[in-house]
Structure 1
């Protein structure tokens, strides 16, 4: 029987103890995930024998010493992590783990959602939460044979995003727009959601969904247990798209997914290629979904992108932002940046709107 002498919580700011955690993780072939904010550490005679961390509602960096596996240590560790998460207001928890650990987490009360065979699984601490979410979505199903979907971060919402939404809505009986629900972006989720709704309020065949944890953010997708980093993008795409194709699309009758072409960002371009494959491949036993890629909206021969807007803001080149964003986004930026009222007309008129 094991004897745990101490159980402690370690903040990310405690560099000395975090270094010891990182060393223990390396001994277990894991990396220290940079987004974990707090760890639970179990020690035996001052030596770390188990640890696990929290990144919001995601449990990460779980490791147990070989000598203590199968002795209930994992259950104790997960229980403490759940208690810590509840203290921070998170009761719905997720864990990404290697395929060989699936049974261990199932024994701790987690249910498998989707998997990348032989590599990883996504699990949550509920057997019914996804079902309840899908029931909520089903109530928002609309009639029609051309039902499209867009998933976006909108960090912030630009004229490029608006062009994509207008095109998709004009070519569909109904359009479902899902916002990525996380705050790893520069602009908070609630503000991004409000900007999307404000700019699209005149599009009548559109439902804007306030995201869910079943739309997987690339920003929060963990890779600490994937040694071949070239596989990370593929694993993220497969998990994200399988969730969408298996669960979300069927309840809403979605037959198309609409994206903008990506001429500049290789990561997004790679994701679009993965998206096309996993939406249609017969290796998944679910109805295929058509991927529609449209050319990006440009201004002065440059594709409009949220990253460009963020860079202009960082450089305080506010006048150049105006042609790239809807008036609603521009007004919000002016308020956020605390610009003087007399500056607003100058920003709006100096370069004009497209």
Structure 2
């Protein structure tokens, strides 16, 4: 059965083909995440017998007909999928899977780097990828008793972000700031990184780190094989913080992680609460890391919490004149460079 088959490369924009792929995945209790761009699909005649998706450098929605699972076909599908990614210049690949599938993906050249118990494992296609990244970090390690860290999206960089960085830096011998590497936000990774760089250039003991796949973005985290959103969020938190505590923090001697209070977003607030447990849990390797929660900055009249989401709303729908109450001058100048027309009235909010 299925002695002959062909592989096809299909864009997720091809609705007709995607209908068949979605139906096949549904039979395997899987779905398609919004960020998947392409599929490699194996057809035997008109029937789909296997498929796998590519979302940036993450492989997702990999499914194989039951009759072919454990056969040589499985590895052929993985070979076709990784070859397609390589042709697009995506050489460093990741995938999330259930623990029961780890053995197969190891045979396909992937190596486990983190897990969320019996729910999920994260693998990459190089044995020493995380080790090499940590070795690069060690070259930026500075001595000191109190080494702080912040992980920041900054979409865009606000006075609240600036306040958090300045306060943290004053309390630490040195402070490492990691920028979340993801696209799909209102502002690109490149623009967010530049706004952070400009808005923190006056802080002498700050070390700014470019984005990395090892700071796990919620935007790219898989939802296609876990249906419960609460479980998805918990798995994301566990995997992200496991890598941070066991690999990233020891490489830089990090002792503290700073966060802002989160009164508006339930998901982020839950992440912060879980962080305080994960970074001191005896179940994880690595030294304990103290979490320092800093109250959110408010506008001068104390009426409004300064948040990036409020700024995005003001830019899109509201009165741009009050943005000086929310943004440092460096961000205002950068947004003007991006063709945002901002009239400044600092007493408007």
Partner of 2:336: 334
The structural deviation recorded for 1:335 is 2.3
SS at match of 2:220: coil
- Find the residue that maps to 1:149 and give its secondary structure: strand
The 5 A counterparts of 1:144-293 are 144-293=144-293
Structure 1 residues 44, 246: closer, same or farther in 2, change over 3 A?
A: same
Q: Residue 4 of structure 1 contacts residue 42 of structure 1 at CA under 8 Å; is this kept in 2?
A: no
CA contact (8 A) 1:184 1:220 kept: no
Q: Which moved more, 1:314-323 or 1:113-122?
A: 314-323
Q: CA deviation at 1:5?
A: 2.2
Contact 1:2/1:71, CA 8 A, preserved across alignment: no
Measure the CA separation in 2 of the matches of 1:81 and 1:352: 56
- 2:45 matched residue in structure 1: 45
More off after superposition, 321-330 vs 49-58 = 321-330
Q: Deviations over 1:286-324 (max 9, x none)?
A: 211100001000114211111111111111522122211
CA displacement, residues 81-114 of structure 1 (integer Å, 9 cap, x when unaligned): 1121122221000000111000010000000001
Q: Deviations over 1:33-68 (max 9, x none)?
A: 111011000011211110000000000000001010
Deviations 1:116-173 (A, max 9, x none): 1211100000001211111110000001010010001111101010000001000000
Task: Tell me which residue corresponds to 1:126.
Answer: 126
Contact 2:245/2:285 (8 A) holds in 1: no
How far apart, in 2, do the equivalents of 1:227 and 1:315 lie? 34
Equivalent residue for 2:346?
A: 351
- Counterpart in the other structure of 1:80: 80
5+ long unaligned stretches in structure 1: none
Q: In 1, distance between residues paired with 2:33 and 2:305?
A: 33
RMSD (Å), alpha carbons:
1.4
User: Compared with structure 1, are the counterparts of its residues 352 and 278 closer, same or farther at alpha carbon in structure 2 (3 Å cutoff)?
Assistant: same
Structure 1 pair 338/186, CA: closer, same or farther in 2 (3 Å)?
closer
Cα distance change of structure 1 residues 317 and 122 upon mapping to structure 2, 3 Å threshold = same
Of 317-326 and 158-167, the range deviating more from structure 2:
317-326
The 2-side partners of 1:214 and 1:22 are apart by: 29
- Alpha-carbon distance in structure 2 between the residues aligned to 1:125 and 1:353: 52
Give 2:10's aligned residue: 10
Q: CA deviation at 1:353?
A: 9.8
Q: Which runs of 5+ in 2 are unaligned?
A: none
Offset from partner CA, 1:221-264 (integer Å, 9 cap, x none): 11111132220110000000000000000010001000000011
**Separation in 2, partners of 1:124, 1:234:** 21
Contact 1:297/1:303 (<8 A) preserved: yes
Report runs of 4+ in structure 1 exceeding 4 Å deviation: none
**Structure 1 residues 316 and 264 mapped into 2: Cα distance closer, same or farther (>3 Å)?**
closer
TM-score by length of 2: 0.96
- Give yes or no for contact 2:145–2:173 (8 Å, CA) kept in 1: yes
Give secondary structure in 1 for the equivalent of 2:279: helix
Partner of 2:104: 104
In the alignment, structure 1 residue 315 sits paired with structure 2 residue 317:
yes
